[in-house]
């Protein structure tokens, strides 16, 4: 019963009688209510089920199936499923059923869909209001155009799309599975397209389209005597149909970020509106590119709801490769129509293959994983953090040793019976003990003496007597040679310069630290040689040289205190390893001899700027009155940091990522150590793009040179005693 505008309307209603709460599931005459207080339901002379007003003079509703009844009598039955049926008595054939004419509720074993031959279309329509069952403005139906999909309409336009059928669920309902509460039967043949839900157990369930445009599923809880709602749609902004408009993807999981993203090879039609978080204009293909027989291909967009398929073609006989070939032959094939109503899911969804031009395809192949430069930067930060921690712990151990008074020497123990040790024979009787206090020498465990000592003849034989052909390069304290041992093992021999006053100190430093701090990200030291006036370190050989070989157009040797690009070696798999402890010296060490955990932060900042710019720190002396650090700082103040970015970076990372790295680099090279972030913070800033970065302060060593192009050294001595940077040009 419904009261409206002073009139009383009586309707034929079906209730779920098994439950205590009165629940309407079907209305016969929702479009023609009875004007009065009551009506009469009967079977008329032609066998139809009819509803009249009490007077019987006015027909309100009828099953209207007289054409198939002939002269046989009929019977109306209400089934346990809630289906009201009209049965022909002679044949017991169901000639009409309420399940073919649903209202706002879908019950188990009720079908949604259409029959192609008869034109019967079963769909849900909401009530006008919670008290008025008159047809409302929301409907839930299968779309007969293109490839079958299920949509919720509001005011005649798509409001939420359940998606297309994937074989066990609708693509827009990832939480729905074949055996989740329902047994699902999907029919797709030349005569019928329909979906039917069958309840797995005896529970009473229903699905309802309400007047607000929400589709809700609930089940009756007998103990609590109430309906329990367990699912509804739409849920979030990305569920609303076409929220991000054509050729866009909606991702609701990036908190605080604009949910709309453009698909590969596309760009916003209106960048200004897009920046203001207005995606109503959608996206379009980048200008000046062709995707028609011009080397184009497909890129995979994972875990998404397949876009609107109303204009899509489906061929179930093709596999994925054949589908790709079919699409390539048709220049109008863009993947799935115009890609309207695409969204991302966290742990489900399907793979969408989007057609892109050759340039976008090449760009994607280069950036499928993290770019090599970005990956190297992140790995180097991690290495430095681990190295600093290990060095700190090692320093604590050394400091606590008794009776040493802070003085340590290198102690070598030699068994004269062996003069030809091999790297593979770690039982050699000649060992390097590493640094130890002379006073405690007798207490040193023999098991710690694990670095074999090579004699000079063995090293000379391995390097062809230090042949120029075996020379790998020169460092600040000598030359590096490649060698091959008798057993075939390749080694790298660092031969310290005889003329360098810093040679012995560097030798002790490198042996002391690297021998004791063996780590997978440090170049492994295998042995050493101290004989006559020769001091040599033997390392594992890494075939890809150093990082600066890949960053710079020519090789510039920089003698410093801490990390630099040429001290980061790359193995065959391009994994970086730290090989030395001579690089970019922070100002507090140069001026006051103070060395802290922030010193490596400074060194990394310079390295990061080198990676992004593709130039070394001293490369600007001939073209700009500032170092790379100073040049980047000046451009930062002017708002022109884009000029720092290496042109080749455009293919491996976005401009925003490069600018962020520049800002992090400038934060690392600030003049005062207290202003610099620690290494763990640097790692966090690099790994989390949403973190807001502070504005950097003035870096160290920003100066104006009065001698552009002047030689940095007035003579050609093989080494320098100067503690400040000395840069030398040397061909690769």
Beta strands in 130-181 (DSSP E): 132-143, 149-154, 157-164
Among residues 273, 278, 335, the alpha carbon closest in space to that of 308 is found at 335
DSSP 576-636: EEE--S-SPPPHHHHHH----HHHHHHHHHHHHHHHHHSS-TTTTTTTSSS-HHHHHHHHH
Q: Find all residues with CB under 8 Å of 442, minimum gap 6, and list them.
A: none
Binding site feature residues: 494
Write out the DSSP string of 298-345: EEEEEEEEPPP-TT----TT--HHHHHHHHHH-TT--SSTT--SEEE-
Question: Which residues have a Cβ under 8 Å from the Cβ of 28 and sit 6 or more positions away?
Answer: 11, 12, 13, 51, 61, 98
CA atoms within 13 A on the CB side of 400: 6
Residue ranges for the known binding site for ATP are 494
Dihedral sign for Cα 271, 274, 278, 282, please.
Answer: positive
Three-state SS across 387-418? HHHHHHHHHHHHHCCCCCCCCCEEEEECCCCC
Give 500-545 as a 3 state SS string.
CCCHHHHHHHHHHHHHHCCCCCECCEEEEEEECCEEEEEEECCCCC
How do beta strands 726-730 and 555-559 pair? antiparallel
Contact 234, 227 (CB under 8 A): no
Long-range contacts of 267-273 (CB under 8 A, 24+ apart): none
Dist CA 715 CA 694 (whole Å): 44
Q: Cα separations (Å) of 672 from 599, 675, 698?
A: 10, 6, 9
Give the residue numbers annotated as catalytic, written as ranges: 562
CA 594/CA 588 separation, integer angstroms:
5
Distance between CA 260 and CA 219 in Å, rounded? 35
Q: Is 472 helix (H, G, I), strand (E, B) or coil?
A: strand
Tokens of 163: 């998606």
CA distance 683 to 108: 55
């Amino acid at each position: 019963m419904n009261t409206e505008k002073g009139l009383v309307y009586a309707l034929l209603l079906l209730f779920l009688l098994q439950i205590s709460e009165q629940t309407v599931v079907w209305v016969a005459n929702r479009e023609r209510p009875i004007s009065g207080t009551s009506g009469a339901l009967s079977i008329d002379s032609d066998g139809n089920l009819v509803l009249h007003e009490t007077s019987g003079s006015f027909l309100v509703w009828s099953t209207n199936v007289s054409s198939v009844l002939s002269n046989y009598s009929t019977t109306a039955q209400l089934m346990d499923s809630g289906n009201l049926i009209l049965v022909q008595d002679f044949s017991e054939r169901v000639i009409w059923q309420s399940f073919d004419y649903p209202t706002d509720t879908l019950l188990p074993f009720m079908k949604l869909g259409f029959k192609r031959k008869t034109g019967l279309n079963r769909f849900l329509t909401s009530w006008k209001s919670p008290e008025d069952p008159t047809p409302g403005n929301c409907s839930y139906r299968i779309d007969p155009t293109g490839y079958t999909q299920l949509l919720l309409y509001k005011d005649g336009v798509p409001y939420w799309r359940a998606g297309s059928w994937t074989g066990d669920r609708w693509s827009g309902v990832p939480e729905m599975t074949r055996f989740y509460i329902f047994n699902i039967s999907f029919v797709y043949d030349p005569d019928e397209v329909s979906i039917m839900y069958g309840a797995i157990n005896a529970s009473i369930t229903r699905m309802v389209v309400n007047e607000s445009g929400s589709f809700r599923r609930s089940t009756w809880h007998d103990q609590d005597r109430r309906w329990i709602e367990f699912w509804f749609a739409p849920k979030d902004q990305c569920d609303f149909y076409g929220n991000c408009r054509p050729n866009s993807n909606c991702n609701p999981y990036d908190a605080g970020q604009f949910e709309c993203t453009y698909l590969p090879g596309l760009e916003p039609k209106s960048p200004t509106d897009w920046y203001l978080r207005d995606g109503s204009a959608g996206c379009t293909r980048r200008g000046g590119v062709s995707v028609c027989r011009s080397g184009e291909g497909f890129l995979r967009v994972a875990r998404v709801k397949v876009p609107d398929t109303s204009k899509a073609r489906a061929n179930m006989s093709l596999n994925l490769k054949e589908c790709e070939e079919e699409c390539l032959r048709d220049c109008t094939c863009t993947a799935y129509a115009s890609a309207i109503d695409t969204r991302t899911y966290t742990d489900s969804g399907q793979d969408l293959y989007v057609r892109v031009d050759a340039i976008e395809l090449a760009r994607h192949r280069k950036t499928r994983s993290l770019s090599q430069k970005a990956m190297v930067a992140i790995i180097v930060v991690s290495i430095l953090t681990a190295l600093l921690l290990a060095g700190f712990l090692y320093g604590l151990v050394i400091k606590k040793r008794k009776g040493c008074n802070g003085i340590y020497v290198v102690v070598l123990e030699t068994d004269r019976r062996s003069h030809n040790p091999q790297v593979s024979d770690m039982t050699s009787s000649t060992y390097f003990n590493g640094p130890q206090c002379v006073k405690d020498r007798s207490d040193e465990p023999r098991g710690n003496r694990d670095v074999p000592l090579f004699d000079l003849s063995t090293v000379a034989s391995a390097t062809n007597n230090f042949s120029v052909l075996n020379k790998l390069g020169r460092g600040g304290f000598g030359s590096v040679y490649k060698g091959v041992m008798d057993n075939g093992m390749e080694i790298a021999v660092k031969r310290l310069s005889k003329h360098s006053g810093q040679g012995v100190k560097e030798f002790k430093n490198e042996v002391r630290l690297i021998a004791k701090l063996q780590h997978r990200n440090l170049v492994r030291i295998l042995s050493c040689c101290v004989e006559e006036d020769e001091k040599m370190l033997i390392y594992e050989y890494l075939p890809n040289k150093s990082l600066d070989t890949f960053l710079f157009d020519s090789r510039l040797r920089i003698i410093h205190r801490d990390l630099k690009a040429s001290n980061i070696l790359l193995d065959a798999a391009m994994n970086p390893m730290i090989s030395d402890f001579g690089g970019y010296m922070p100002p507090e060490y140069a001026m006051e001899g103070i060395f802290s955990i922030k010193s490596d932060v400074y060194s990394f900042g310079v390295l990061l700027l080198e990676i992004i710019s593709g130039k070394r720190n001293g490369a600007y002396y001939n073209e700009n009155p500032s170092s790379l650090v100073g040049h980047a700082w000046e451009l930062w103040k002017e708002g022109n940091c884009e000029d720092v970015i290496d042109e080749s970076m455009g293919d491996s990372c976005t401009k925003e990522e490069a600018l962020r790295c520049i800002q992090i680099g400038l934060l690392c090279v600030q003049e005062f150590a207290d202003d610099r972030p620690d290494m763990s913070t640097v790692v966090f800033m690099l790994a989390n793009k949403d973190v807001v970065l502070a504005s950097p302060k003035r870096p160290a060593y920003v100066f104006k040179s009065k001698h552009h192009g002047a030689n940095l050294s007035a003579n050609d001595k093989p080494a320098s005693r100067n503690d400040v940077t000395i840069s030398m040009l040397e061909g690769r």
